[in-house]
């Protein structure tokens, strides 16, 4: 818990740095490799410096779209190499077939909803590449969904940021436990879904 609190305090100081938009961009680009609580990080920056909240949301959106492009390319190019391992070892052939049918039936809506809702973004980007969706439509859907999500967060922090900051400061440890439980439940859900 102490290390999470140190990260929280470190990020809070970066919100006032002249390089804060760069920090947001870098943190959101790291989503490609790590599981980071991006909404919470954006909330923190917006709470600390509400005058720049929409700028932070714009940087988060641009970085997220860059991650989406890289994830799509990886899914598209690496499917022939890793597809045989993924289907059968990590997810069942039936689940993969349902996923492909879902994407083919609801392409842009599926990408939009997957990018807007708090589900693992890597799963959306890689699977879109695996399924070889049209890249331009995919990118527009991702951009619209991520912008809507991040700008809504920025607006909410502008309205209720002080209340949220007070709540987070009082209940930080409980929130970290809840976040850990959410990550564990998400992995368990997708693992069970893939069996």
Residue 130 confidence class, pLDDT cut points 50, 70, 90: confident
Residue 7 confidence class, pLDDT cut points 50, 70, 90: low
| Residue 91, phi then psi, degrees to nearest 5 | -135, 155
Which pLDDT score, from 0 to 100, does residue 151 have? 96
Question: Mean pLDDT of all residues in the chain?
Answer: 80
Residue 195 confidence class, pLDDT cut points 50, 70, 90: low
CA torsion 188→189→192→195, rounded to 10°? -110
Other beta carbons less than 10 A from residue 30's beta carbon: 14
Which pLDDT score, from 0 to 100, does residue 61 have? 94
Other beta carbons less than 10 A from residue 166's beta carbon: 11
137 versus 170: the higher-pLDDT residue is 137
CA torsion 6→54→49→159, rounded to 10°? -100
Whole domain around residue 98: which residue ranges? 2-194
Distance CA 112, CA 109 (A): 5
Distance CA 84, CA 89 (A): 8
Q: How many domains are there within the chain?
A: 1
Residue 139 confidence class, pLDDT cut points 50, 70, 90: very high
pLDDT for 194 beyond 60: no
Residue-wise pLDDT for 30-84, tens only, equals: 777 766 677 878 888 888 888 889 999 999 999 999 999 999 998 899 877 777 7
Other beta carbons less than 10 A from residue 118's beta carbon: 11
Which pLDDT score, from 0 to 100, does residue 62 have? 92
Residue 21 confidence class, pLDDT cut points 50, 70, 90: confident
Which pLDDT score, from 0 to 100, does residue 102 have? 76
What token pair was written down for 193? 């879904």
Residues belonging to the chain: 195
Answer yes or no: are the C-beta atoms of 87 and 96 closer than 8 Å: yes
CB proximity list for 125: less than 8 A, separation 6 or greater = 67, 68, 70, 71, 72, 74, 75, 142
Which pLDDT score, from 0 to 100, does residue 164 have? 77
Which pLDDT score, from 0 to 100, does residue 173 have? 67
Residue-wise pLDDT for 76-124, tens only, equals: 998 777 777 777 666 677 877 777 787 778 888 989 998 998 777 887 8
Which pLDDT score, from 0 to 100, does residue 16 have? 73
Which pLDDT score, from 0 to 100, does residue 24 have? 77
pLDDT for 23 beyond 80: no
């Amino acid at each position: 818990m102490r290390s999470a609190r140190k990260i929280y305090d470190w990020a809070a100081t970066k919100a006032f740095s002249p390089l804060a938009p760069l920090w947001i961009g870098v943190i959101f680009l790291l989503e490609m490799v790590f599981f980071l609580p991006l909404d919470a990080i954006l909330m923190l920056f917006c709470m600390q410096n509400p005058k720049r909240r929409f700028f932070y949301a714009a940087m988060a959106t641009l970085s997220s779209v860059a991650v989406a492009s890289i994830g799509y390319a990886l899914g598209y190019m690496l499917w022939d190499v890793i597809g045989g391992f993924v289907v059968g070892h990590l997810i069942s052939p039936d689940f993969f077939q349902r996923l492909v049918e879902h994407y083919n039936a609801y392409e842009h809506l599926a990408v939009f909803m997957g990018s807007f809702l708090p589900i693992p973004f890597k799963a959306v980007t890689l699977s879109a590449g695996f399924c070889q969706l049209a890249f331009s439509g995919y990118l527009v859907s991702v951009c619209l969904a991520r912008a809507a999500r991040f700008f809504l967060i920025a607006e909410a922090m502008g309205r209720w940021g002080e209340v949220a900051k007070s709540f987070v400061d009082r209940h930080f440890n409980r929130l970290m436990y809840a976040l850990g439980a959410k990550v564990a439940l998400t992995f368990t859900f997708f693992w069970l879904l893939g069996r």
